[in-house]
């Protein structure tokens, strides 16, 4: 993954779901020359943000054995624009996981209102080598808000 389209994972339930936040700022590179007078977050990037949030939910739920790679999205609806200054709440609910792939439902909200919904995000899975497993764990620890400690062990969120 080249860049994250979320700032931090704020809630995580293995095998169930993850929730991330994205503080949308006018300095985002994607705003450069994109609707100069009315900057809007491009809708494909909202889908990618949801896919990244769901991909982490799947990858961590498989104990980093499988990397989730988005291959398809279905049933996409956008309801409102996302603008600089908005805090995007990204919710990814796991619908199914098996060795070959997984399905996730995604919802993006701003101020409690749904701005986007993806009925199905489909992922293919790649096997993760031990070396890459450590790399993935470190990336998740960096973005997760403390759901794993520095050694990759679960931390109680009580």
Domains of the chain: 8-143 (3.10.129.10)
pLDDT at position 19 is: 95
Q: Residue 144 — very low, low, confident or very high, per pLDDT cuts 50/70/90?
A: confident
Choosing from 11, 34, 117, 125, the catalytic residue is 34
142-155 burial: b if 16+ Cβ within 10 Å, else e: ebbbebbeeebeee
Statement: residue 1 has pLDDT above 50? no
For residues 142 and 117, the model is more confident at 117
pLDDT at position 150 is: 62
Statement: residue 76 has pLDDT above 70? yes
Residue 11 appears among annotated catalytic residues: no
Mean of all residue pLDDT scores within the chain: 89
| Joined tokens for residue 125 | 């899975």
- pLDDT over 70 percentage in the chain: 88
pLDDT at position 35 is: 67
For residues 158 and 70, the model is more confident at 70
Q: Would you report the helix, strand and coil content of the chain in percent, each value rounded to 5?
A: 25, 40, 35
pLDDT at position 95 is: 98
Tell me how crowded residue 45 is: count the other CB atoms within 10 A of its CB: 15
Query: For the residues 94-121, what does the mean pLDDT come to?
Result: 97
Residues 6+ apart with CB under 8 A from 17: 11, 57, 91, 92, 93, 94
Statement: residue 158 has pLDDT above 60? no
pLDDT at position 147 is: 67
Query: For the residues 87-113, what does the mean pLDDT come to?
Result: 97
């Amino acid at each position: 993954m080249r860049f994250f389209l979320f700032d931090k994972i704020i809630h995580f339930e293995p095998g169930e779901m993850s929730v991330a936040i994205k503080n949308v700022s006018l300095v985002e590179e994607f705003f450069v020359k994109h609707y100069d007078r009315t900057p809007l977050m491009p809708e494909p990037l909202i889908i990618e943000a949801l896919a990244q949030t769901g991909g982490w939910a799947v990858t961590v739920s498989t104990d980093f054995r499988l990397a989730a790679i988005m291959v398809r999205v279905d049933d996409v609806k956008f309801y409102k624009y996302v603008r600089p200054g908005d805090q995007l709440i990204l919710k990814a609910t796991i619908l199914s996981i098996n060795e070959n792939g997984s399905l996730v439902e995604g919802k993006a909200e701003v101020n409690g209102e749904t701005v986007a919904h993806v009925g199905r995000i489909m992922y293919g899975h790649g096997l993760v080598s031990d070396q890459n497993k450590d790399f993935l764990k470190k990336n998740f620890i960096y973005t997760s808000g403390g759901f794993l400690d520095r050694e990759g062990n679960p931390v109680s969120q009580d």
